[in-house]
A and B are shown apart, each in its own frame.
Chain A
Amino acid sequence: MLKAYYHLLFRDLRLAFRNRHELANPLIFFVLVVTLFPLAVTPTTEALRAMAPGVIWVSALLAVLLSLDRLFKQDYDDGSLDQLMLSPNPLVILVLAKVTAHWFLTGLPLVIMAPLLGMFMALPDEAISVLIYSLLLGTPILSLIGAIGVSLTVSVNRGGVLLSLIVLPLYIPVLIFGANAVDVAMNGLSVRGQLLFLGAVLALALSLAPLATAVALRITASR
């Protein structure tokens, strides 16, 4: 069972590295949006600082949203998804492997890039470290919740809008607490509450989202 998890994880990582331009897309989107913002507004340190948490978090969220499609689309189109569902291994484990691969390929690069963008936006050091923590806890939640949405819409042609409608309301709490944690850290207050909340949501998503995704995939396949 663990072996099936690793095999699928490595297969997805290998596929992504053979197709690098697709891999770079969310990261480029993230960097572009955050770097364009200061150009469009008065770039005073105070103004940048005030909006930095929101801008970085919204861009990260949209970057993940844009990349969700590739989570199951290719497997659905070439029939591999059927084979995954016919595996003697629990579908939940395989879903978890696919979501893990997705996070390694989108969430993790965003987390690594975030400190640099934080400096662009004149964030103080302590806020940058909180930004990393909040993204580290938040981006896996985005991948996990996104998987539910994709598995419901993968069979719909051009289901992008539908996907956003399903997923965005569930993303909002993560956005609020993630951006707020950075904001609070800038003002020198304790961020314990916000980070604990993100951790709790991550634990919840980790335990429930793969189950929901597996059920949604079975519904998709049965049509």
Chain B
Amino acid sequence: MLEIKSLECVRDDRLLFSDLNFSLDDGEVLQIEGSNGCGKTSLLRIICGLRLAEGGQVYWRGETIRANREDYYANMVYIGHLPCIKGDLTVLENIRSLLDTRSLTVEDDVIETALSKVGLASYEDVPGKALSSGQRRRILLAFIELAGAKLWVLDEPLTALDVQGVALMESMIIEHQQAGGSVIFTTHHGMQLDCEMRSVKLGGKEYMKASTWDEE
């Protein structure tokens, strides 16, 4: 479904990774591993098409994501480091505006069910600025649940979440995987996923060749 071919990423004259290949099918969960600054976020942003790779391509259903943009973005949802929450909008308005950019019309009661699932029942009319950072992240959990995407790209989804929040994220990923969806994520927190999972490690030995690349 998603295929990464000979991807290369350079940041500030440093080679983060090169010749990176992997693919992801329906119902697969993939963790990107690596230490700080090894290019996990850059890789996820390249996969989303937000960042341009220095080399290589990302393919979605056999075509590059650029050529297949509309279908790809209708089926992919991305959560980054930033919360995407407006302090002046209520929880309900925030989640609506996120869904509106994806052109999704969702009934109020469906949103309310999703919000109560992430522990924000009765918070619908609370403005975003009155929420804690963990609660803001929980809005995003409700958003990915409602986005109806096959592929979830999650960059540090456990940031600011409490123990119950982490458990919720884990169960959401497992549920999504069982429904045939796929997930790519990064995390520095231990995630106990009770499902089949693969991992790709960045910053391994072969990527230490950056010095030779610099000399060229």
Residues on A facing B (Cβ under 8 Å): 1, 3-4, 7-8, 11, 14-15, 18-19, 74, 77-80, 82-89, 94, 221-223
Can you list 16 A-B contacts (CB < 8 A)? A7-B100, A8-B97, A11-B100, A18-B88, A74-B86, A79-B81, A80-B84, A80-B86, A82-B48, A83-B98, A84-B101, A86-B48, A88-B103, A221-B50, A222-B50, A223-B51
Tell me if A's interface is mostly helix, strand, loop or mixed.
helix
Known contacts A78-B85, A222-B45; can you find 17 more A-B pairs with CB under 8 A? A3-B103, A7-B100, A11-B97, A15-B89, A78-B84, A80-B84, A80-B86, A82-B50, A82-B80, A82-B82, A82-B84, A85-B50, A88-B70, A88-B102, A89-B103, A94-B101, A221-B51
Q: How far is the CA of A11 from the CA of B84 in the complex (A)?
A: 14
Residues in A whose Cβ lies below 8 Å from that of B51:
221-223
Residues on B facing A (Cβ under 8 Å): 45, 48-52, 69-70, 73-74, 76-78, 80-86, 88-89, 93, 97-98, 100-103
**B49, closest chain A residue (CB):** A86
Residues in B whose Cβ lies below 8 Å from that of A88:
69-70, 73-74, 102-103
Asked whether, in the complex, the Cβ of B73 is within 8 Å of the Cβ of A87, the reply is: yes
Residues in B whose Cβ lies below 8 Å from that of A80:
84, 86
Shortest Cβ distance from A38 into chain B, in angstroms?
38
Asked whether, in the complex, the Cβ of A78 is within 8 Å of the Cβ of B89, the reply is: no
Q: How far is the CA of A222 from the CA of B66 in the complex (A)?
A: 14
Asked whether, in the complex, the Cβ of A4 is within 8 Å of the Cβ of B103, the reply is: yes
Residues in A whose Cβ lies below 8 Å from that of B88:
15, 18-19
Q: How far is the CA of A89 from the CA of B84 in the complex (A)?
A: 18
Asked whether, in the complex, the Cβ of A4 is within 8 Å of the Cβ of B101, the reply is: yes
Asked whether, in the complex, the Cβ of A86 is within 8 Å of the Cβ of B50, the reply is: yes
Q: How far is the CA of A86 from the CA of B153 in the complex (A)?
A: 12
Asked whether, in the complex, the Cβ of A87 is within 8 Å of the Cβ of B103, the reply is: yes
Q: How far is the CA of A19 from the CA of B129 in the complex (A)?
A: 13
Residues in B whose Cβ lies below 8 Å from that of A1:
103
Asked whether, in the complex, the Cβ of A86 is within 8 Å of the Cβ of B78, the reply is: yes
Asked whether, in the complex, the Cβ of B101 is within 8 Å of the Cβ of A87, the reply is: yes
Using known A-B contacts A85-B50, A222-B52, determine if residue A79 contacts B82 with beta carbons closer than 8 Å. yes
Residues in A whose Cβ lies below 8 Å from that of B69:
88
Residues in B whose Cβ lies below 8 Å from that of A19:
88
Residues in A whose Cβ lies below 8 Å from that of B85:
78
Residues in B whose Cβ lies below 8 Å from that of A85:
50
Asked whether, in the complex, the Cβ of A79 is within 8 Å of the Cβ of B100, the reply is: no
Residues in A whose Cβ lies below 8 Å from that of B103:
1, 3-4, 87-89
**B77, closest chain A residue (CB):** A86
